[in-house]
A and B are shown apart, each in its own frame.
Chain A
Amino acid sequence: MEIKILGTGCTNCKNLEKATRQAVAELKLDASVVKEEDIVKIMGYGIMRTPALVVDEKVLFYGRIPSVSELKEMLSKK
């Protein structure tokens, strides 16, 4: 699975990246985690709030940072 974190580099985006990496590691998922910082590409996903999480090109949520346990719950359903 391919996980993208959309954000222009603010603290919240970095926090989400950290939480996501932790969730992926704890679930032992076979997933790549990349950060998308290009605003034009971010807008291509139709969101107006960062950070956002995209799994296999589908927006999972935006504008908030869930806890690691909530992230794990969401990612394990995918």
Chain B
Amino acid sequence: MNNRGITFHLKNPANYLPLLLLPLWILLYRNLHGLTDFFVYDVFNLIKGTHLADSVWFFVFEVPKVLLLLTLIIFAVGIVRSYFSPERTRKALEGKSLFTGNVMAASLGIVTPFCSCSAIPLFLGFIESGIPLGVTFSFLIAAPMINEVAVVLLFGLFGWKTAVIYVITGLFIAITAGWVIGRLHLEKWVESWVYELKAGDHPEDEKLTFAQRIRMGYGAVKEIVGKVWLYVTLGVAVGAGVHGYVPQDFMASVMGDKVWYSVPLSVLIGIPLYSNAAGIIPIVSALIGKGAALGTSLAFMMAVIGLSLPEMIILRKVLKLPLIFTFIGVVGTGILMVGYLFNYIF
């Protein structure tokens, strides 16, 4: 088993450097509003209330805010995730009945480290140890859709309520879609070699010290923030343009809740559109300010983030085409229902 004890290596204080940056983080985050005012109105000398000032203010405020939030949360999530592993998740799911298994698989999908390049070994490992296909799908739907980057961006740009709604509806879709796929008994559409595969014995878990876990959190920040900062900047730049220059209620005629076809249309556009959460969420947040409905926007983001073409191509190695289309169909229907529901409620 993993070593959960805390072992401090004080002879190597560099490992704890990230923790010492926390006060600086708080200072910056709390004063961001004032700093932005200072830069936009005093340094750039823009006049408050103009389109240009609005756009620039949005950009100068949102980019550092989102990047600060991402850095802190990804660091924390990186440490938390070092206590979870697909191997342990698999063990927890073994022998669980269909519905309980789906609920657990979707929930564990949020915290278990997952990268789409590991989707195949993970799928094979689950199936090989006898975890039902439907339960495996619940995991494969939740893991990419409910990720920390999406949740942080939703929290930063939409507020905590939307972030919570996204997580809950994402879980709901992962649980029901997995359950439906399980009930349909589609094992015949899994490539036949998958069931003949004989995996080797699982090697012993590495024992990690707390210092190593901190380094893993630090590594996650370097890897993820290093990759998404550009998308965040570009996404917020487009969002800033929309925010300052697009007329109020402009989106109401395309993405508004009065347009019945807006939800299916945004899902259809969202599936082949491959972008990560970092690029798409800032743009959608600006569109909501211009009359786009919350349900429609939510459905669009879920389709873009949760159903990505590259992942389908990876999964094609183990799944036959009819199963991939069923997967897209079932998850797409779930997203559609969520979209209509939220347009109806709000």
Contacts and interface: CB of A to CB of B under 8 A. Distances in A.
Interface of A: 7-8, 10-13, 39-40, 42-50, 58-59, 61-65, 67
Interface stretch (B121-129, B168-176, B288-296): B121-129
Contact of B117 (A8, A45, A58, A62): A8
B228 interface: no
B118 A50 contact: yes
Contacts of B200: 43-46
B94 interface: no
Contacts of B121: 8, 39, 42-43, 47-50
A49 B197 contact: no
A10 B122 CA distance: 15
B327 to A, nearest CB: 20
B129 to A, nearest CB: 10
Q: Which of A7, A10, A11, A46 has the most CB of B within 10 A?
A: A46
A49 to B, nearest CB: 5
Given A12-B115, A40-B197, A61-B206, A48 B87 contact: yes
Given A39-B124, A40-B197, A63-B113, A46 B118 contact: no
A43 B125 contact: yes
A50 B199 contact: no
B199 A63 contact: no
Contacts of A7: 117
B64 interface: no
Contact of A48 (B86, B117, B317): B86
Contacts of B86: 48-49, 63
B120 interface: yes
B122 A46 contact: no
A39 B203 contact: no
A8 B202 contact: no
B210 to A, nearest CB: 15
B124 A12 contact: no
Contacts of A39: 120-121, 124, 317
B201 interface: yes
B275 to A, nearest CB: 18
A61 B120 CA distance: 18
Contacts of A45: 200, 203
Contacts of A40: 193, 197
Contacts of B243: none
A44 to B, nearest CB: 5
Nearest to A58: B203
Contacts of A63: 85-86, 113, 118
Contact of A50 (B117, B201, B317): B117
A35 B191 CA distance: 25
Q: Which of A42, A44, A48, A59 has the most CB of B within 10 A?
A: A48
A67 to B, nearest CB: 8
Interface string B179-208: 000000000000001000111111100100
B216 interface: yes
A10 B197 contact: no
Nearest to A49: B118
A61 B215 CA distance: 16
B85 A46 contact: no
A34 B200 CA distance: 20
Interface in B124-166: 124-126, 128
Nearest to A52: B203
Contacts of A50: 117-118, 121
8 contacts: A7-B117, A8-B117, A39-B124, A43-B124, A43-B200, A45-B200, A46-B199, A49-B85
